Amino acid sequence: MRSTLIFATNNQHKVDEIRSVIGDEFNIITLKEAGIDIDIPEPHDSLEKNASEKSSVIHKLTNQNCFSEDTGLEVEALNGEPGVKSARYAGEGKNFQDNIDKLLKNLVGKTNYNARFRTVISLILNNKEYLFEGICDGKIIPDQKGNNGFGYDPVFIPNRSNKTFAEMKMEEKTIFSHRRKATDKLIQFLKNHGTH
């Protein structure tokens, strides 16, 4: 029987992207599907700590194997911002457009547009926690392009591409993405631990 893992997120885009990488190998249950309605806190100053917080809250609640992920956009000229604050950069509303507007405003006059997405997955398997990281290097563009994806996708071009993530279909974003790289490590780990 396929192993079941709860994915501790309220972000459906993340669920779609991770499911497309994991395929049918594991049974991924969303919070909604598990009947859990909770706004998981992200109070910490690092992606690692916030990812741990999210998985441990759900583990305490369900006592089941689960994982979470925290992702940040780290912009060189802004000393790594918005980073851990990516979701709420322009305020508690977590509004994607407001966040992009604030980012572009803060980059006016800068010459270095280098940036990276970093994803940290926290897995709790049989009561022990494991972390996996995925990084996608690229750059920010000053004019938004594309309507696919979510968050900062319309202003981020990964290295070795000339399209923003928002101009790509999910399958193409997956070739480059931070989230896929972290998920690959998660899958490999689960297989090595005899979890199928």
**Catalytic residue IDs:** 70
Closest approach, Cβ 145 to ligand ITT, in A, equals 13
Q: Please tell me the distance from the alpha carbon of residue 109 to that of residue 129, in angstroms, as a whole number.
A: 43
State in angstroms the smallest separation of the CB of 194 from ligand ITT.
Answer: 27
Question: Counting contacts by CB under 6 A, is residue 180 touching ligand ITT?
Answer: no
Span near ligand ITT by CB under 6 A; candidates 10-18, 103-111, 126-134, 188-196: 10-18
Q: Which is nearer to ligand ITT, 125 or 140 (CB)?
A: 140
154, amino acid identity: P
- Residue 106 and residue 115: Cα distance in Å, rounded? 14
Q: Least distance (Å) from ligand ITT to the CB of residue 196?
A: 25
- Secondary structure class of 121 (helix, strand, coil): strand
The tokens describing 86, both together, are 């990516």
- Nearest C-alpha neighbor of 176 from the set 136, 119, 118, 133: 136
Nearest in space to 5 (alpha carbons), one of 25, 16, 137: 25
Q: Report the candidate in 135, 128, 2 with the shortest Cα–Cα distance to residue 66.
A: 128
Amino acid 81 reads E
Minimum Å gap between C-beta 180 and ligand ITT is: 10
Per CB under 6 A, the list member of 22, 87, 115, 123 interacting with ligand ITT is: 87
Q: Tell which positions 37-66 bind ligand ITT, by CB under 6 A.
A: 42
Q: Which of residues 135-164 bind ligand ITT (CB under 6 A)?
A: 149-153
User: CB-wise, 9 or 183, nearer to ligand ITT?
Assistant: 9
With CB under 6 A as the contact rule, the residue among 71, 122, 164, 183 that binds ligand ITT is 71
Among 70, 74, 81, 167, binds ligand ITT (CB under 6 A): 70
Alpha carbon separation from 12 to 111, 126, 190 (Å, rounded): 34, 26, 23
Residue of closest CB approach to ligand ITT: 151
DSSP state of 36: -
For residue 51, which of 169, 161, 154, 131 has the smallest C-alpha distance?
A: 131
Binding site residues, ligand ITT, CB under 6 A = 9-11, 14, 42, 70-71, 86-87, 94, 96, 99, 117, 149-153, 165, 179
